[in-house]
Amino acid sequence: MKKIVSIIIAAMMLLTIAAFAECDTTVTNIDAGMNTRLTPPWYIYQKQVKALFEHDPQIIVGEIYQQENGKDYAFDIEVRSHEKFLALDRMLIRFRLFGNVALTINLFDEENADGGAPIDICRALFDGNPIVESIEDIVDLAGTHHGFVVFAPKVVQYYADDLRDINGNETTLAQEIAREMFKDMDGVNFCTGQVAVG
């Protein structure tokens, strides 16, 4: 019995490796008779970025596209507020590697300049975005500034091939996306506001 289980696990691992190596492998659900494609992680990352800014009319996240080399991918973000552009330009990780595939994020605005204090950059970036509850600058007893971007206590969903979800969605908090998406900002923390009780 242990040998059969080991063989099944090894076969499943080989199928998984083949699916990710091809990134276009079709997985057939024999019971339902339907074809489903696995979403590559660079597509999921673009969906995370889009989910974080989908309610902000000044930040438009474009669709992902394949670059001219035929191997790497990119997507564009059009920013209609110069302050938000500067904030994104300073905070956002613009180049990510997923195994042997590179993802580039292109920002578009009419000008470019230096930003400012990290908490001010966060204020500029998230101004008017209803997913943010507040942005706080707390000074401790030693005089050190600690910034907190406090997201509303609501879930964020985007399609991510999650087999544990009936619709294939990933359900998370905005703080988790922000922590992964933005560069380390000295003195800035991403968190979620408290849920009102009673």
Q: Are 165 and 147 in contact (CB under 8 A)?
A: no
pLDDT of residue 184: 63
Kindly give the confidence (pLDDT) of every residue in the chain, 198 residues in length, as a single tens digit, with 9 standing for 90 and above: 666 655 666 555 555 554 444 444 344 344 455 556 788 999 999 999 999 999 999 999 999 999 888 889 999 998 988 888 888 988 888 899 999 999 999 888 855 445 567 888 888 889 899 999 999 988 877 777 788 999 999 999 999 998 999 999 999 999 999 988 886 666 789 999 998 887
Task: Write the CB contacts of 26 (distance below 8 Å, at least 6 apart in sequence).
Answer: 35, 36, 37
Is the pTM of the predicted complex or chain greater than 0.95?
A: no
* CA–centroid distance for 67 within its chain: 20
Give me the residue label for tokens 């276009």. Answer: 24
d(CA 70, CA 9): 33
Return the residue matching tokens 């359900």: 171
Q: What is the dihedral of CA 54, 133, 172, 196, to 10 degrees?
A: -140
What is the pLDDT at residue 188? 87
Q: What is the pLDDT of residue 67?
A: 86
Q: Show me where the domains of the chain are located.
A: 1-38, 39-192
83 sits in which H/E element: helix 82-91
The pLDDT of residue 69: 81
pLDDT score of 148 = 92
Which contacts qualify for 139-148: CB closer than 8 Å, 24 or more apart?
Answer: 144/187, 145/117, 145/119, 145/187, 146/187, 146/189, 147/118, 147/119, 147/122, 147/185, 147/187, 147/188, 147/189, 148/188, 148/189, 148/190, 148/191
